[in-house]
Structure 1
């Protein structure tokens, strides 16, 4: 067994292991269609390596060569379909399958050209490069926020496409790819080609696996941090994300404000109308917060009827306007199950981060402001005494 034969066998088993890894993710999360297509793609990769390994046994290898080409190109189609599902796009099945058919026919037609013909080698390698560029386009077309792994994947896809496009020239530099298909695996080009295929195939697979695992873990974390009724962050999730947002704002030198809200007379709603109606009140207020919040805001349900939202890049005056807007809007929203004359309200406490305090201090002062709003008769907004006093002193000093 030559070196290229050995690499083919290794690639076959590696493709099988990768197919099993993707299928494991698909079975863990049955809704993750991308993992199933990636598993199918690497399963086709196994078939490709098996066909390549068997080609020397054929007296006339034209059909096995075309079959190997079509199966491997089909593996890239499945890979691209999995990527499209992962990045929230509709896979371009029709153009990809049409391209697969046309390219397979082209490879069949060039079988009678001289073995070292550049046209023949281009017909074999350029479709692979085109499918890798298609994968790159899929990732670039995603509307999802791309992370570091996604950008590395794009770089590797571009490099993989380039290596496929360069293989005809590599074959020429290394003396060709054999006098016939049966002798291919004995050539130096076969060793280089299969080694490059191993490196890039494994790199793409590991990156795709890492991205899928990242997404699975992120979704699991999100579920553990999400309050099921309000669909906002629960207290633990809010505190973690708020701390991160606060640190980022401080690093950038931007102001940070915190608004805490408490639904007024909520126990009375539960006692008079039932807990199902109380849940609808919570859902309504949470929906109001979600609509009012910007993408960089952090909103959570931190208690039974208590909510909080961190507003990075927002000072005390702007945060007060935010709270007043939420307060007035909530009072006008109809809630199913409540009498038409029953008006819901909420009290708000607002605090802005001071230079000498942390998140827990900010929470405490916002809580104090909330209690002040409750003591003032509810359905109002109060500012943190600490910040208000500092501003008053500063203004009096200027006077």
Structure 2
């Protein structure tokens, strides 16, 4: 067994292991279509390496060569499908499949050209480069927020496309790719080509795997931090994200405020109209918060009928206006299951982060303001004026 044969065998085994890894993710999360397509792509990769390994056994290698080309190009198309599903882009199946048919026919036809013809070599390698560029275009066209791993994937895709496009010239520099297909695996070019394929194939697979695992872990954390009824952050999730938002606001030198809300007479609603109706009150108020919150705000349900929202870039006056708007809007909303004339209300406490305060200090002051609002008759907003002054004047807003 020559060096190129050994690399082919390694590639076959590696493709199998990577396919198994993507299958494991697909089984763990049946809704992750991207993992299924990536697994299929690496299964096709196994088939390609098996065909390449068997070519020396054929007297006429024309059909096996074309088959190997088509299978490997199909593997890159399946990979692109997985990438498209991951990044929320519609996979361009029709153009890619037409390209597969046309490129395979071209490779079949150029078998009549001299073995060392540059046209013949380009016809074999450029379609692979085109599919890597397609994958790069898919990631670039995504509307998802791209992180470091995603940018690294794009960089490796561009480098992989470049190495495919350069292979005909590498073959020329190394003395060609064999006098016939059967002798390909004995050439120095075969060793270099298969080694490059191993490096880039493995890099792309590991990056795709890392990105999928990152997404799975992020979704698992998101589910663990989400309150199922309100679909807002639960207390633990809110505190974690709120502290991050506070640190970021302090770093950027912008104000940050906290609004806490408590639904008025919630126990009375449960006792009078049932817990299902109480759940709809919570869902309604949570929906109002979600609609009112900006993307950089952090909202959560931190208790049974208690809610909180962190407002980075917002001072005390603007936060009070936000609370007033939420209070007024909630009081106007009809809620299914309650009498038509019944309207719910909420009390609000507002505080702005002061110098040298941390999240627990801010939370405590907002909570004090909330209790002042409840003591003032509920359905109103009270603010904490800072660590030095703890007045909560009724004149700032609301009823009472």
State the TM-score, normalizing by the size of structure 2. Answer: 0.97
Is residue 15–residue 42 contact of structure 1 (8 Å, CA) maintained in 2? yes
Whether the aligned pair in 2 keeps the contact of 1:365 and 1:385 (CA below 8 Å) is no
8 Å Cα contact 1:259/1:310 also seen in 2: yes
Distance 2:356 2:17 in 1: 54
Matches within 5 A, 1:344-359: 344-359=344-359
Aligned-residue offset at 1:334: 1.0
Tell me how far apart the structure 2 counterparts of residues 204 and 174 of structure 1 sit (CA, whole Å): 26
1:35 aligns with 2:48: no
Deviations 1:185-212 (A, max 9, x none): 1111101100000000000000000000
SS in 1 for 2:386: helix
1:377 is aligned to 377
- What residue number does 1:316 align with? 316
Match of 1:10 in 2: 10
C-alpha contact (below 8 Å) 1:259/1:366 kept by paired residues: yes
List, as ranges, runs of 4+ consecutive aligned residues in structure 1 with deviation greater than 2 Å: 385-392
Deviations, residues 234-260 of structure 1 (Å, cap 9, x unaligned): 000000000001101101111110000
In 2, Cα distance between equivalents of 1:12 and 1:274: 62
The 8 Å contact of residues 384 and 390 in structure 2, kept in 1 or not, is answered as: no
Q: In 1, Cα distance between the equivalents of 2:374 and 2:391?
A: 23
Q: Note the C-alpha offset of 1:391.
A: 11
* Distance of 1:387 and 1:297 partners within structure 2: 24
| 1:169 aligned counterpart, secondary structure | helix
Cα separation, 1, equivalents of 2:43 and 2:316: 58
What are the superposed Cα offsets for residues 344-394 of structure 1, whole Å, 9 maximum, x if unpaired?
1000000000011100000000000000100111111100142683999xx
Name the counterpart of 1:397: none
Aligned to 1:159: 159
1:259 is matched with 259
Give, in whole Å, the separation in 2 of the partners of 1:388 and 1:64. Answer: 83
Q: Is contact 2:352-2:386 (8 Å) kept? A: no
1:286-307 deviations in Å (ceiling 9; x for gaps): 0000000000000000000000
1:180 corresponds to which residue?
Answer: 180
2 CA distance for matches of 1:24 and 1:60?
Answer: 39
The answer to whether 1:143 aligns with 2:143 is: yes
- In the TM superposition, what whole-angstrom CA distance separates every residue of 1:55-79 from its partner, at most 9, and x where no partner exists? 0111100000000000000000000
Query: Helix, strand or coil: the match of 1:257?
Result: strand
Q: Corresponding residue for 1:395?
A: none
Bigger shift: residues 379-388 or 13-22: 379-388
1:369–1:385 Cα contact (<8 Å) kept? no
- TM-score w.r.t. the length of structure 1 is 0.97
How far has the Cα of 1:158 moved from its partner?
Answer: 0.4
- What is the correspondence of 1:49-60 to structure 2 with a 5 Å cutoff? 49-60=49-60
Task: For 1:186 and 1:106, locate their aligned partners in 2 and report how far apart those are by CA, in whole Å.
Answer: 25
Q: Distance in 1 between matches of 2:348 and 2:186?
A: 77
The size of the alignment, in residue pairs, is: 392
Query: Structure 2, unaligned stretches of length 5 or more?
Result: 393-400
Consecutive unaligned residues of structure 1, counting only runs of 5 or more, are 393-399
Equivalence for 1:119: 119
Matched, 1:189 2:155: no
